[in-house]
Chain A
């Protein structure tokens, strides 16, 4: 138990940057401790993803958002999120977050039964159990595996070598129990639908952030690490 507590404290110390301390501002690399040795390649993929977003994803998601009302799209998003809960629960357990693991599993059971296969989220609304963040990338980091380097993945976006490995393994774990695991085309179609649905709920945000930045590549890289730090700062999140 002491070991777990130590690990959790250590990870929260190293991950959580306190806004009220000047060091988090003065240390120029505060949010970027992860190296970016393949920056030219990453920039090329970033440009590719940007074009895919502008020419394919955004028009498709915009059309889709006009067909389906926002609350139904919200339900679809809940459904996909709910499917990931068992994987999140296992990752919590692997990180020693026993309570979070139980809560996540509880969310899965409540939402699958009372929320009609996870279309609604009564666990958050009625039972006041907020969604809990966990994935294999984080588990590996708790176990002491380093990030490796920053990686922009085609069609997926910002990640690191370690976190992307985690994403792939998490995805494989999910496919063992998800309703569609027949062939690669079905899986890709479902993933595509999920992405379009998710994008339709945040239309315009990408363009706006891009228009305000001086170097979108650096702005999104920084944003990715800042968001990740916050998601993994469980001591603060649980307060």
Chain B
């Protein structure tokens, strides 16, 4: 951004030396370009600006006619690969487990992250067929330090469903760690269920149940 802005500024400067009548306007333009190019560096990136092309990419992938021709499991894999660009599944896993996350070994953390990602992948595979060109409208955003909330409306033919993405700034990228649909947070809902399982059966019990759920969902995918 900085480099291209400076180059553009230099180009404008050259232009204004050649064409003297409009030189003042060009010079002004140069300053504006350079000023904005510089001020953009170091500032927090705009969450909506990042999520607009990202969600467009997701809906484009969903609308791709070629998607329906491959097996269900591969469909969900293709979607999750796109979703991964702006979803932090590790942060999600950490939050659904809660305080016990710190007590897990690195291997266990990686294992759970893979399982939880797979759970979400299979859970939402049914949604792929339901997609029929619904559009995403951006309504509002809130930024609080390194956290942000991007509020959207999923516009269907009969009604609009409010969907919020809760984001965390990782480097220069806003990454989602929760999705709030009609006021219900996915992560908080799973967290409460997992807390009870962890309390009763501990981490091994939770892994067992998640694996069972994945197997159950996988069986349903094959059936359809």
Contact = CB atoms under 8 A, between A and B. Distances in A.
Contacts of B195: 28
Given A19-B166, A70-B158, A214 B184 contact: no
A230 B210 CA distance: 29
Contacts of A222: 184, 188-189, 192-193
Given A19-B166, A218-B196, A208 B191 contact: no
B88 interface: no
B9 to A, nearest CB: 37
Centre residue among A20, A24, A213 by max chain B CB count within 10 A: A20
B48 interface: no
Given A70-B158, A223-B184, A19 B189 contact: no
Nearest to A71: B158
A221 B188 CA distance: 12
A219 B98 contact: no
Interface in A32-79: 32, 70, 74
B191 A25 contact: yes
Nearest to A25: B95
Centre residue among A70, A201, A211 by max chain B CB count within 10 A: A211
Interface in A175-230: 201, 208, 211-215, 218-219, 221-223, 226-227, 229-230
Contacts of A32: 192
Contacts of A212: 123
A30 interface: yes
A11 interface: no
Interface string B47-71: 0000000000000000000000000
Centre residue among A30, A214, A222 by max chain B CB count within 10 A: A214
Contact of B184 (A21, A218, A227): A227
Contacts of B95: 25
A31 interface: yes
A20 B188 contact: no
Contacts of B144: 20-21
B108 interface: no
A223 B194 CA distance: 14
B197 A227 contact: no
A131 B124 CA distance: 31
Interface size class of A (residues with CB under 8 A): 20 to 34
Given A20-B144, A74-B158, A215-B196, A226 B183 contact: yes
B166 A214 contact: no
B192 A218 contact: yes
A26 interface: yes
A227 B183 contact: yes
B182 A227 contact: yes
B196 A19 contact: no
Interface in B178-211: 178, 180, 182-185, 187-197, 209-210
Contact of B142 (A20, A70, A215, A227): A20
A231 interface: yes
B98 A19 contact: no
Given A212-B123, A214-B197, A31 B188 contact: yes
B164 interface: yes
A230 to B, nearest CB: 3
B196 A20 contact: no
Contacts of A239: 140
Contact of B192 (A31, A227, A229): A31
Given A19-B149, A214-B194, A219-B193, A24 B188 contact: yes
A140 B176 CA distance: 37
4 nearest A-B residue pairs (beta carbon): A230-B183, A20-B147, A20-B144, A222-B192
22 contacts: A19-B164, A19-B166, A20-B147, A25-B95, A25-B191, A28-B191, A28-B195, A70-B158, A74-B158, A201-B158, A212-B123, A214-B213, A215-B196, A215-B197, A221-B192, A222-B189, A222-B193, A226-B185, A227-B184, A229-B183, A230-B183, A239-B140
